Amino acid sequence: MEEHLEYTEEIPQPLMKKKRAYPVTWGGFIGFFGAYLGFIILFSLLTGMFYALAAVIFGFSMAGFEKSPVFLLIDALTFIAVMLVFKRTRQFIFQKLTLGALKKKKTYFLMAGALIICQVSQYLIFEVLHLEEPGSKGDDRLFTSGIGIAGIAIVIFCACIAAPVTEELVFRGFLFRFFHERYHFIAGLTVSSAVFGSLHIGYPLAAGIMGMVFAMLFYFTKSLVPGMLVHALWNTYVSIVELHS
């Protein structure tokens, strides 16, 4: 007898769209910022305890403690501590810490444009529309509270070097990229600039616009370095103006 073999053609199943794997999950995102805030609180408490102990031992007053420029170092120290803990987040952020953009002429035009936009926007907000004051009480206080040469040196270092580097890594390197890659450019721009502005008490609108400018500079150059340089130049300019006012 002749065997009749039956062949059944397999009908391919609809191709399943693979879910994109993101470098940083929502759990990592929440953990990073939770640790960031936690370390800030911890370092602030430790600094306060140390200062209080020194006040008891050496008999000096605690008056003006909240004006100490030492607190400006806490943010940078917190960032370093969190980066040591969250390896995946560190790798995600440092991916864009590249120097390639500095080899392109257009980068310097973009940097110059960013500085001009910051200057014009703040002039309109502070001098023309009078929507905000040019600097929060805390910022002005650092330059008017008699902190001495050493204190001024610390303030200049933190404002012109530590703060620009830390803020660009956190807000543009992490926050902007996280929402941009998961959702949309507008989402990253809105969230990062809104958070950046809200943390600058006294002038959130002006700072928020600056956050948008830095985010767009990063977006067009694909590197965090140009934003760090512009941020540092701007903070240096503001610090010099404050010191001579």
- Beta strands (DSSP E) in 30-115 are none
Q: Reply yes or no on whether the pLDDT at 142 is more than 70.
A: no
Query: Is residue 92 a part of any domain in this protein?
Result: yes
**pLDDT, tens only, 37-91:** 888 888 878 888 887 887 777 766 655 555 555 666 788 888 888 988 899 999 9
Q: Reply yes or no on whether the pLDDT at 32 is more than 60.
A: yes
Query: Is residue 53 a part of any domain in this protein?
Result: no
Query: Is residue 129 a part of any domain in this protein?
Result: yes
Domain count, the chain: 1
Q: Classify residue 82 by its DSSP letter.
A: H
Residue 138 is part of which domain span?
Answer: 67-243
Indicate whether this model's pTM tops 0.85.
no
Query: Is residue 91 a part of any domain in this protein?
Result: yes
Query: Is residue 111 a part of any domain in this protein?
Result: yes
Query: Is residue 138 a part of any domain in this protein?
Result: yes
Contact between 86 and 170 under an 8 Å Cβ cutoff? The reply is: no
* DSSP-assigned states of every residue in 198-241: HTSTT-HHHHHHHHHHHHHHHHHHS-SHHHHHHHHHHHHHHHHH
One-letter amino acid for residue 245 of the chain: S
One-letter amino acid for residue 144 of the chain: T
Query: Is residue 160 a part of any domain in this protein?
Result: yes
- Measured CA to CA, the distance from residue 151 to residue 146 in angstroms comes to 9
* DSSP-assigned states of every residue in 172-194: IIIIIHHHHHHT-HHHHHHHHHH
Query: Is residue 208 a part of any domain in this protein?
Result: yes
Q: Classify residue 64 by its DSSP letter.
A: T
What is the reported pLDDT for 218?
A: 98
- Beta strands (DSSP E) in 75-232 are none
Q: Reply yes or no on whether the pLDDT at 31 is more than 90.
A: yes
